[in-house]
Structure 1
Amino acid sequence: MAVPAAARMSSKNARDTNRYRPPQVTGLVDLLDRQVRERPYARALVVTGERVHLSYRGLASLADGVAGRLRGAGLRPGDAVGLICANTAEFVVALLGAARAGLVVAPLDPALPGPQLSARLEALGARAVLVGPGGASGVALPVPAWPLRVDVSRAGTAAVALGVDAHAAPHVRGAAGELSDRDALVLFTAGTTDRAKMVPLTHANVTASVQNICAAYELGPGDATVAVMPFFHGHGLFAALLASLASGGCVLLPERGRFSAGTFWDDMRAAGATWFTAVPTIHEILLDRSEREYPGLQVPPLKFVRSCSAPLNTATQRALERTFGAPLLSAYGMTEASHQATSEPLHQRGPLKHGSVGRPTGVEVRVVDRSGRPCPAGVEGEVWVHGPTVARGYLADRDETSYTFVDGWLRTGDLGTLDGDGHLSLTGRIKNLINRGGEKISPEHVEDILAGCPGVAEAAVFAVPDATYGQRVGAAVVVREGESVGAEEILQYCRDRLAAFEVPDRLELVAVLPYTAKGGLDRKAVQARYAP
């Protein structure tokens, strides 16, 4: 099967598409349909090291070809399939092709060891797994593994090959019996194999999430971005990929499907990118390298930069805005709410509220006390979310579902406050709190103070077991390259800004900190490495 790749929009079309139009989608199945009708040859993806353009019409044709092969392999609407692939054209074609066949797709982290991949596929009850570049090469999996390859030539043709060499596995044990053709995705929460929870998201959840993201940032056909975050997590999947395609924008997929700081600005220039989204860790990397790598006026002007998935300290936010000349919009989301729940909007009255993650985007947000009663403005409590993006629960886990989902409200486990204008500020995670002799300390708050110390690049705060107080405060700190700040200077900085019980009792200078696959601080690894 061969289809033409994309041509660039005419300048007239580019001007005409600046007006914001909400995406008209009902889920993953028709995500491309409006663009195929109205702008079939507009860029949908930029792929491969040669940065070849793939049009909406071309992408839809490839997805339809995959859908036909999957139906022919004995799969039926509502069946679950795994997807193991880097951020390449193969991921996008497999995801949309499976959706057009009525299947429920479970993206998996390609970096997981074979036993963990197998355990997740068995727990789900997947009938097959699609494997693209960067996938589980040579790993024995419990269900048929079908290799998928997309070739986009410089001459402007694209073709897909799906190696269906056996029928799908018969219905197997697992959570798939709880799924139907109303479901679009199953995403795994962060955690070890035996504790990672399975979150089913319907096409209605996907639609609401995509529409909320597009509305918050007024995304449209004139926008383009570079895929920084992995697609097997909600951040990269919803915010970068699905929202862009639903709104008619363009997504550049970096060579080999992975973020590279060394090629990032070249990618942004090649895409004509108007925005990008990343975790604070990546923002810090780009900021640290900006003096020698940020090309300034050679990059198209950015409408905004987005940060999500972990707290971004105020000092870094301001530095990024100065460097990139665009507002940095903080957002807050979680897998169980189809990613985004709040964000600072693209356009708002007055200056951005640094330190806030914005206001609700298409959902309701409450901050409640231990009894579930709403807290007054400015009073800390647990953040609860309600709305059309919230999942119905976890698959095959009634206990966790009954605890986390209460009368349609999602208990996030995050601590925060709401101000009088409805802006949410996060103060930490309930399970991360350090109990020092009865004083509850938020590691995230102490980390934010540490990150503001001149010369400090990043910090991780953790609990140190203590016979007298139960727990004390420990910190691992990375000093910025070329700086000579010492531990005592950092501690004095903390003493001037923290309560005495919050100041780290132990502070260690380290070269690097461990991070999870989606770019968040790996607190379990920090605890294991530095707390003993």
Structure 2
Amino acid sequence: MAVPAAASVRDPGRYRPPALTGLTDLLDRPARARPQAPALITGADRARVSYRALDELADAVAARLTAAGLRPGDAVGLVSANTVEFVAALLGAARAGLVVAPVDPALPEPRMTAGLEALGVRAVLLGPTAGGTPPAAVGPGVPAWTLRVDLSPAGTATASLGTGAGAPADAGGAAGELTAQDALVLFTAGTTDRAKMVPLTHGAVAASVRGVCAVYELGPDDATVAAMPFFHGHGLFAALLSTLASGGCVLLPARGRFSAHTFWDDMRAAGATWFTAVPTIHEILLDRAATDLTDLAGPPVPALRFLRSSSAPLNTATQRALERTLGAPLLSAYGMTESAHQATSEPLPQHGPLKHGSVGRPAGVELRVLDPDGKPCPPGGEGEVWVHGPTVARGYLGNPGETAYGFVDGWFRTGDLGALDEDGHLFLTGRLKNVIIRGGEKVSPEHIEDVLAGCPGVAEAAVFAVPDATYGQRVGAAVVLSPAEGPGSEAPGAEEVRRYCRGRLAPFEVPDRIRIVTSLPHTAKGGLDRAAVDLQYAQDPVWPGLT
């Protein structure tokens, strides 16, 4: 079953997304129409940066990069927390015609160096890190230039670029595959030395931004707090670029990263109307809501139009609890680096029904769900999700084998399993590569994790395959328990958790092995790090409380 892009387009007379061609003209409309309006609120003192100041800052950075010897088409790395320096470097580099590759500042040197060398960047732009310490070294031969932005009380902004570390390096690596249309190279989730490099054109950036703005009808009256890092598509496209293109305001938290301690105060300071985050952050905010929302001094938190969740599956119980607590709909979205982030989303309530458990309908792309023989699945039938549209990348840099497998006739094979209902809403059921084969039966770890998350006393769970001589694989689970909620409260043990599962899962799906753990590893985006889970638990021969 395929769902066309037209299925997600609302009446164009009611809302028009911003007109832009890419990163270079992202600020053009708001800088002309509302030059004094705040584009950013940044730092511990919450300094305001107007659209005019940000526009001039981007021009200044572009001039400095050109003067340093960089030329259109060159690739540069960008290593920074969510600060004004990141925004200025990104937009300034784009205006200089450069292709920008944002990188996680927390990566250790070998991983950071491997990714940047594989791409072949000519320089690395450094901004502040969340911890206030310099980022890891980026390897010999590639100059690292520190960008600093100074903000005056009058609202002016000046940029300085420390190019004393050397002239641009010779181009190499996969940079030779870049085109004049490319704007970004994003690394897929995971460790950068193993991550794939995804080139995204200015056209893909523009299509992604317009799609996000259209679904949520973002405009000049909207504001948000940047809870997600900008070196991944979620924070970059949904929070930063879409807000700036629509003329809204983004608050960049102190130290350039999410803090549960200051989040609601930041939301109030920004006059925020929405925010987007991964389920891990939503869980944290929900756990702290009773205290945080009552302890705020001063005016209450502003009314929210909606909340947004993406990058990992959101537990339905958490979604409903947050909606009750904050009095706003929580809209689930689905996307990937290869589609410039958003591919589907639940609509605003006034534009269609919300189906809990769904990630919504296509947003500017086409979807199809295919069975193992490549045939479209009927409504409700499970298969692999394929995506096609203007946001989809052309392939991976320096990886022809993965490109040939993952990109077919303009369609991207996501590797995700899902089903489309009669209304075109997508329900994700797992990952092809995560499926556990237990005695010939196919088991979805994600489905079992969702059931485990509903068990009283369970905060989080990871399900994985355990090698077994008899069944080939058995089902293992690592479970994090919630804090006790009062006198007499008793956390469940492995057998209690298993008993809960028996009433809700098929016999072959019930975890054979359960371990109670204190925490689970997560990726930089906040999703479950399945590779680390497998390394820590699936291969561990010692399992307490086994059946």
TM-score category (smaller protein): over 0.9
CA spacing shift, 1:75–1:222, aligned 2, 3 Å = same
Q: CA shift at 1:512, angstroms?
A: 1.0
Distance 1:252 1:20 in 2: 24
CA contact (8 A) 2:329 2:349 kept: no
Listed as ranges, the matches of 1:13-412 within 5 Å are: 20-134=15-129, 136-137=134-135, 139-142=137-140, 143-165=142-164, 168-295=167-294, 298-348=300-350, 351-412=353-414
Distance 1:263 1:35, change over 3 A: same
5+ unaligned residues in a row in structure 1: which ranges? 1-18
Higher mean C-alpha displacement, 359-368 vs 113-122: 113-122
Q: Distance in 2 between matches of 1:175 and 1:167?
A: 22
TM-score by structure 2 length? 0.92
Give the corresponding residue for 2:4: none
Going from structure 1 to structure 2, the CA distance change for 1:193 and 1:265 (only over 3 Å counts) comes to closer
Partner of 1:8: none
Contact residue 47 and residue 53 of structure 1 kept, 8 A: yes
2:531 is the counterpart of 1:524 = yes
Q: Number of residue pairs matched? A: 514
CA deviations on 1:216-248 (whole Å, 9 max, x unpaired) are 000000000000000000000000000000000
Measure, in 1, the Cα distance between the counterparts of 2:500 and 2:113: 48
Residue in structure 1 matched with residue 491 of structure 2 by the alignment: 485
Matched position secondary structure for 2:343: strand
Q: In 1, distance between residues paired with 2:373 and 2:436?
A: 21
Q: Deviations over 1:120-151 (max 9, x none)?
A: 11110100000000175462533110000112
Partner residue in 2 for 1:14: none
SS at match of 2:234: helix
Q: 1:138 to 1:312 in 2, by over 3 A?
A: closer
Deviation digits for residues 131-181 of structure 1, max 9, x if unmatched?
000175462533110000112233433221111225543433201111122
2:161 maps to amino acid? L
Q: In structure 2, what is the Cα distance between the partners aligned to 1:154 and 1:325?
A: 37
Q: C-alpha distance in 2, partners of 1:141/1:152?
A: 31
Alpha-carbon deviation of 1:430? 0.5
1:494 Cα deviation after fit? 0.7
Which stretch shows the higher mean deviation, 277-286 or 483-492?
Answer: 483-492
Identity of aligned residues (%): 73
The answer to whether the 8 A contact 2:85-2:149 is kept is yes
**Inter-partner Cα distance in structure 2 for 1:372 and 1:462:** 27
Q: Note closer, same or farther for the CA distance 1:65–1:359 as it changes in structure 2 (3 Å cut).
A: same
Q: Compute the TM-score of the two structures, normalised by the length of structure 1.
A: 0.94
Q: Is the CA contact 1:20–1:219 (under 8 Å) kept in the aligned structure 2? A: no
SS of residue in 1 equivalent to 2:266 = helix
Q: Deviations over 1:250-271 (max 9, x none)?
A: 0000000010000000000000
- For 1:466 and 1:477, locate their aligned partners in 2 and report how far apart those are by CA, in whole Å: 21
Query: Could you tell me how far apart the structure 1 residues matched to 2:193 and 2:160 are?
Result: 34
1:56-82 Cα shifts (integer Å, max 9, x gaps): 000011110000011111111111000
In structure 2, give the amino acid aligned to 1:30: D
Q: Which residue number corresponds to residue 11 of structure 2?
A: none
Contact 2:315 2:450 in 1 (8 A): yes
How many angstroms apart in 2 are the aligned matches of 1:520 and 1:394? 22
Q: What's the CA shift for 1:24?
A: 1.2
Q: Residue by residue, what CA displacement relative to the aligned partner does 1:378-435 show, whole Å, maximum 9, x if unpaired?
A: 0000000000000000001111000000000000000000000000000000001111
Distance of 1:455 and 1:137 partners within structure 2: 39
> Deviation at 1:490?
1.6
2:462 is matched with which residue?
460
Per the alignment, residue 449 of structure 2 pairs with 447
Query: 1:352, CA displacement in angstroms?
Result: 1.1
Partner letter of residue 195 of structure 2? Answer: A
Higher alpha-carbon deviation: 136-145 or 382-391: 136-145
Unpaired segments ≥5 residues, structure 2: 1-13, 541-547
Aligned partner of 2:513 among 502, 506, 512: 506
Q: Decide whether the 8 Å contact of 1:124 with 1:176 is kept in 2.
A: yes
The 3-state SS of whatever aligns with 1:354 is coil
In structure 1, the residue matched to 2:420 is 418
What is the RMSD of the two structures over their aligned residues, measured on CA atoms?
1.4
* Alpha-carbon distance in 1 for matches of 2:124, 2:370: 41
Q: Distance in 2 between matches of 1:252 and 1:340?
A: 21
Structure number with greater CO (CA < 8 Å, separation at least 6) is 2
Stretch moving more, 128-137 or 194-203: 128-137
CA contact (8 A) 2:435 2:445 kept: yes
Cα separation, 2, equivalents of 1:170 and 1:478: 47
Distance, in Å, in 1 between the alignment partners of 2:215 and 2:351 is: 14
C-alpha offsets along residues 428-462 of structure 1, whole Å, 9 cap, x if unaligned? 00001111011111100000000011221111111
Give, in whole Å, the separation in 1 of the partners of 2:279 and 2:138. 35
